[in-house]
Amino acid sequence: MKATGEIFLSYAREDAEKVENLYQKLSDAGFKPWMDKKDIVPGESWKSSIQGAIQRSDFFLVCLSANSVSKRGFIRKEIEHALDIWQEELDRDIYLIPVRLEDCEVPESLSDFQWVNLFEEYGWARLVEAIKVGMERRHIKTLADLMRQRKTAGEPPYVLFLGAGASIASGAPTTSEIVDDIVRTLGDRSPETMSAGEKVDAFHTILDGLSDAERYTVLRRYLSRAAPSAGYQHLAALVKAGYFDTLFTTNFDTFLEDSLADAGLRARRDFVVVIVGRDSEQLIQAAVGRLGREGPQIKIIKLHGDLSSRVFALTSSEVLEFSEQTRSFLKDYLSRDVVIVGHTMRDEDINRCVSKRGGTLWYVNPSSPSADDFMHRILSVREGGVITGEYGSFDRFFGELADLLLYRPERVTIEQEVGVIEEAGMVSSVTISGRVSGDVVIVGAGRIEERRTPDERLNKIESLTRQLEALRSNLDKLETQAAMHGILAPLHLVNQIEVTRKEIRELQNEIKRLAREIG
């Protein structure tokens, strides 16, 4: 998978100097821009070079100015070609980005696209953010395509590994918040007067002095008002559809099991839960497939305990107590093709089981691993990808993944090549190669439109409405939790409320759009 976004720059010749500056800034920011003046080597075929660059590009930047907008050829052909390419992308993909180099009119054909004013103070930052968001969406799309191909070919699905980020999305407090609160209420010093290391030491000392029953009483109150988020509902749907069947988690809540049950899957019949520290090595080995294929194919392995079973691994010594057998099968599974979601990979017990040699590894987390992080070193040698930012959040990631794999009709590939054009100093290829669904209509030379049947639109609306109801239910729970905290509501809870509200607005707009198409 490409690590940097490839960007085609479309411009009027009179703006070459400004676009060269943009080219350099994009390159310095780690992207891979393409500009005919910079990247066509003397002796190369001009037309085939343009054509190849557009086919490889992830983004098409239409550089607008009074010079370009005034050109008839630019408006009629260059923009039309960019719109043709955009038609191939999924509805919410970012591909065509109008970039105003100066205060100028935006052609009517681009009026539906949000443009960026590069000449304004925050124009450059907005452009970079748009490209990064577009790249994250493409990464999820790539992963979804690979998952679909595996399922179609009958290959084993990706192994899924869930960290604390999954629980936080459901309203559970972060580990640092739990540490602070327990130290404050059960310790003899205020956490505000302690360093991070002192707080962790005090936390472990307190837990070491509690029985399992006492730990249960203390920890239960942090999870009693939380409920599975929309991300868990999407994940359960993916599991039910066969896209995951082996799920490791370091969380001791029951959000995953509850979501599978809500999706119609039954414990012991459809899925089995094994808990390290409670179940025997023989049972764990059998569950993960070492002793045969009998029994449920969906396996949940809880590595650090389970709240309902009152088994917890929380202190430093406890999380390092994996047996050789447990460490062996965990190494085995984490050397396969793996998707890690919401885990910082700072647990030494887990890190010891992740090898630099193995299958593809996808890392999904709001924050990118820093250069000195363990995960950064692993990702530098194992194939796969990183999904961060907004799309690295638990709910957004599984929502997008489920949308691509479950809630959209399967697409078929079509190709049509028209050629390369040059008019009024503008260059463009009109090669079309993409995937569309429903009825495909070819309009003239190189224009593709997609038409869905009324039944397809109704099915889509029903699917989106179910997602909307789940999000609204989750929002009610999150807002109730926030109201109990008042002005002291945790930041992660406030952020999750904002993300959920944004997702609700997006779904409402999509439902309205489909309803208008039905008429």
Question: For each of the chain's 519 residues, which pLDDT tens digit applies?
Answer: 444 678 999 888 889 999 999 999 999 998 999 998 899 888 888 778 877 887 788 898 989 998 877 765 554 565 666 677 666 655 557 888 999 999 998 887 787 788 999 999 889 998 998 888 888 888 898 999 999 999 999 999 999 999 888 888 777 777 778 888 888 888 888 888 888 788 878 888 887 788 878 877 877 777 766 778 889 999 999 999 999 999 999 888 889 999 999 999 998 889 989 888 777 777 777 776 654 455 568 999 998 888 777 776 655 555 556 778 788 888 889 999 999 998 877 777 788 888 888 999 999 998 888 888 888 888 888 998 899 888 899 998 999 899 889 876 444 333 333 333 333 333 333 333 333 333 333 333 333 334 456 667 787 788 788 778 877 877 877 777 777 766 566 655 666 677 778 878 888 888 888 888 776
Residue 372's pLDDT is what? 80
Domain boundaries, the chain: 6-135, 156-170+227-405, 175-223, 454-518
The three-state secondary structure class of 435 is strand
DSSP assigned state of 372: T
Report pLDDT digits (tens) over 400-451: 899 889 876 444 333 333 333 333 333 333 333 333 333 333 333 333 334 4
Query: Please, what's the b/e burial string for 345-365 (b: 16 or more CB within 10 A of its CB; e: otherwise)?
Result: bebebbeebbeeebebbbbbb
The residue among 46, 85, 29 whose CA lies nearest residue 62 is 85
Residue 490's pLDDT is what? 62
Looking at 3.40.50.1220, 3.30.70.260, 1.10.10.10, 3.20.20.105, the CATH number of the domain 156-170+227-405 comes to 3.40.50.1220
The three-state secondary structure class of 386 is strand
Distance CA 337, CA 119 (A): 45
Kindly provide the residue ranges of all beta strands, DSSP E only, lying in 343-429, ordered along the sequence: 361-364, 384-387, 412-416, 420-423, 426-429
Would 6-135 and 156-170+227-405 be classified into the same CATH topology? yes
Provide the CATH number for the domain formed by 6-135 in this structure.
3.40.50.10140
Residue 487's pLDDT is what? 59
* CB-based contacts of 306, cutoff 8 Å, min separation 6: 252, 254, 273, 275, 278
Residue 103's pLDDT is what? 92
494's tokens: 């406030």
* CB-based contacts of 234, cutoff 8 Å, min separation 6: 395, 398, 399, 401, 402
* CA 458 vs CA 8, 191, 266, 347: distances in Å: 37, 55, 30, 46
The angle subtended at Cα 508 by Cα 504 and Cα 509, nearest 5°, is 120
167's tokens: 């629980």
Residue 183 near residue 194 (C-beta atoms within 8 A) = yes
Distance CA 179, CA 218 (A): 12
Distance CA 466, CA 462 (A): 6
Specify the pTM. Answer: 0.69
* CB-based contacts of 194, cutoff 8 Å, min separation 6: 183, 202
Report pLDDT digits (tens) over 153-186: 999 999 999 988 888 877 777 777 888 888 888 8
The angle subtended at Cα 447 by Cα 445 and Cα 448, nearest 5°, is 130
Residue 414's pLDDT is what? 36
Residue 178 near residue 402 (C-beta atoms within 8 A) = no
> Where do we find the tokens 């030494």?
348
Residue 285 near residue 339 (C-beta atoms within 8 A) = no
